[in-house]
Structure 1
Amino acid sequence: MTELDLATKAPESDAQEDSSVDSPTQSSPIMGDHEHCVTDRPAPAGQGPTGEIIKLNDIDVYISKPADYPHAPTRLLLFLTGGTGIKSVNNQIQADKYAAEGFLVLMPDMFGGETAPGGKEAYVADNSVSLLEQVKLKAVEIAKSFLIDMWLARVTEAKIMPILHKVIEAAHEEYSDAIKHGEGIYAVGYCVGGRYVLLLAKGTQEGGNDEESGMMKAGPFIKAGALAHAASVTPDDFKNLQAPLSLVCVENDALFTDEVRKVGEDLMTQDNVEHEVQVYPGVPHGFAVAGQYQESNIMDAQVTAYEQMLRWLKDH
């Protein structure tokens, strides 16, 4: 069992770039940790989404179905995104991959349409850019980091959990066949979405509003879950877990620190929660979401992480 890496501070991500500079010859991250949360990598070549966005209990949800549904048995999978949300092509492609493996996938708009402030246009700075231009770009990224911090302050458990409860309630009504076949709901989460897999796996729910969600607070709400490079996680999020969990972690991840990671694994072990933890070296936060990287080791790790999460879901 490898150690587990979590984060007390925040953002989520579907991408990471390593390209800003402090001098014309020395490179460093331009946005620091925040850039990891707000932009997509280039989409996989030749791939595009196959699902659609529908309404479930007044919540926008991207739905992706197996080709033979409803004629063949399937299981229901809740897909919780990072800050790029349900309209991200890469998130949609990632959801479609699970659908192709026999899951009816529901990817809810957890953020009420307010995705994280993006920084895509400010990806930066090779050594051909003047130092003055690099300083200007750095100032822009600092401002964007401030906006992301403000966004994260609004992305709270009190706001997100009622949305998830509404979608789960609707799923029990609309897709009861899939839930019955799987003997419960499965969940995957990436970045900030990873934290909410943990919250749905708890035996009781401290957040959410019964009147808004139409659901009781007693959990767990999922049968099993898998999460990749989670963010915004605190040690308390590991208390009272009651569903099997698989964790994909990044080595030396500032958004998912060793300290919280170790506390989390200790708590899961102490509470006899079935779990696995795999730490991936040499990859950026956000690597597990569909998207292209130039480095072959990152692309290979992306495939391995998906296989880890998929296997866990199928085995439970």
Structure 2
Amino acid sequence: MSDCCLRGFQWDAQPAGHDMKVAGRDCYVTGSNPDIAIIILHDLFGWTFKNTRILADQYAEEVGATVYIPDLFGGEVIPAHVVLDQSLWASINLPSFLRRNSKAVRGPEIVECATLLRARHSRIGVIGFCYGGWGAFRLGSRENALAACIVAAHPTQLEKAEIENVGVPVQVLAPQRDPMFTEELKAFSNQVIPTLGVAYDYQYFPGVEHGFAVRGSPEIEGERRAMERAKNAAVLWFRQWLK
């Protein structure tokens, strides 16, 4: 991961949901559908980041789902104001943070949380942003089969083996400039996923960079339009596969 995972803007709206415990961990919850749920696997700014909660509210309203943002970092939160101040990025020891929150550490917890929510709801969709992208593929793998469909927006730490192992309908939201979801991984996804027998929707976003779907600026027309298109694409994907 690189500094692109810290870059972005905070949005002005106020979240409408509430905090609760799910599988023993903190979780933001919005919406009230007992049958359909969406799990958001957050980026480096964690489960409290306002932008992610605002998106959760939008998914809950437009899909008609209960939406959960579980804490994937064991209570540790990168301060949201860092996103606005590039001079503070050096204060974050990103390699140490990622070691504490590695796939080996958080992967089993993500599966545990999804298993509990799958027992509560008939169908579950998953969307992962940045750090959470690999987790979406984990929950949509042929072995786990916990999600009815998944979305990955500018995923990081995603490996070719995880792409090859996806077993549910998958949508990818891919910006033009992304040092994490590289051109090689984009090409690999587009070559391999269509051979796996699952529905596949690859959405390409020219002119924007890693993090745009959850940290783009509404003041920049190109970023605002890309964010809107990404939100709408995910909503339509969830409506198609969860209803």
TM-score normalised by structure 2 residue count: 0.90
> Structure 1 residues 117 and 255 mapped into 2: Cα distance closer, same or farther (>3 Å)?
farther
Q: Which is richer in strand?
A: 2
RMSD over aligned CA atoms reads 2.2
Work out the CA distance in 1 between the residues paired with 2:229 and 2:84: 30
1:240-251 superposed matches below 5 A: 240-251=165-176
SS of residue matched to 1:187: strand
Report the structure, 1 or 2, having the larger helix content.
2
Q: 2:192 aligns with which of 238, 245, 267?
A: 267
Aligned amino acid, residue 68 of structure 2: L
Question: Equivalents in 1 of 2:177, 2:24: separation in Å?
Answer: 40
- Residue 121 (structure 1) shift: 7.6
Please report how far the alpha carbon of residue 234 of structure 1 lies from its aligned counterpart in structure 2 after TM superposition: 1.5
1:87 and 2:53 equivalent? no
What secondary structure sits across from 1:95 in the alignment?
helix
> What are the Cα deviations for residues 264-292 of structure 1, in whole angstroms up to 9, with x where unaligned?
22221222221111111111211111663
Residues 53 and 251 (structure 1), Cα distance of their counterparts in 2 relative to 1, 3 Å cut: same
Sequence identity (%): 24
> Following the alignment from structure 1 to structure 2, what is the Cα–Cα distance between the partners of residues 280 and 75?
28
1:152 aligned partner, one-letter code: L
Contact 1:85–1:111 (CA<8 Å) still a contact in 2? yes
State the alpha-carbon separation in 2 of the partners of residues 291 and 252 from structure 1.
13
2:200 and 2:46 mapped to 1: Cα distance?
27
Amino acid at match of 1:170: L
Residues 76 and 105 in structure 1, CA contact (< 8 A), matched pair in contact too: yes
Structure 1's unaligned 5+ residue stretches are 1-9, 11-32, 125-136, 205-218
Q: Which has the higher contact order (CA 8 A, sep 6+)?
A: 1
CA distance in 2, matches of 1:40, 1:235: 27
Any idea what the Cα deviations from partners look like across 1:186-235, whole Å, max 9, x if unmatched? 1111111111101111112xxxxxxxxxxxxxx21111011211111111
Q: Does 1:198 align with 2:137?
A: yes
- The one of 14, 27, 48 aligned to 2:14: 48
From the CA coordinates, give the structure whose radius of gyration is larger.
1
Number of positions where the alignment pairs a residue of Structure 1 with one of Structure 2: 240
What is the Cα deviation at residue 112 of structure 1? 0.7
Aligned to 1:167: 113
Q: TM-score, normalization: structure 1?
A: 0.70
Change beyond 3 A, Cα 1:167–1:234: same
Partner residue of 1:60?
26
Where does residue 234 of structure 2 map in the other structure?
309
Shift of 1:65: 1.1
- CA distance in structure 1 between the aligned counterparts of 2:180 and 2:169, rounded to whole angstroms: 23
| Alignment-mate amino acid for residue 228 of structure 1 | A
Conserved 8 A contact 1:80-1:196: yes
Query: What SS does the corresponding residue of 1:283 show, helix, strand or coil?
Result: strand
Partner residue of 2:212? 287
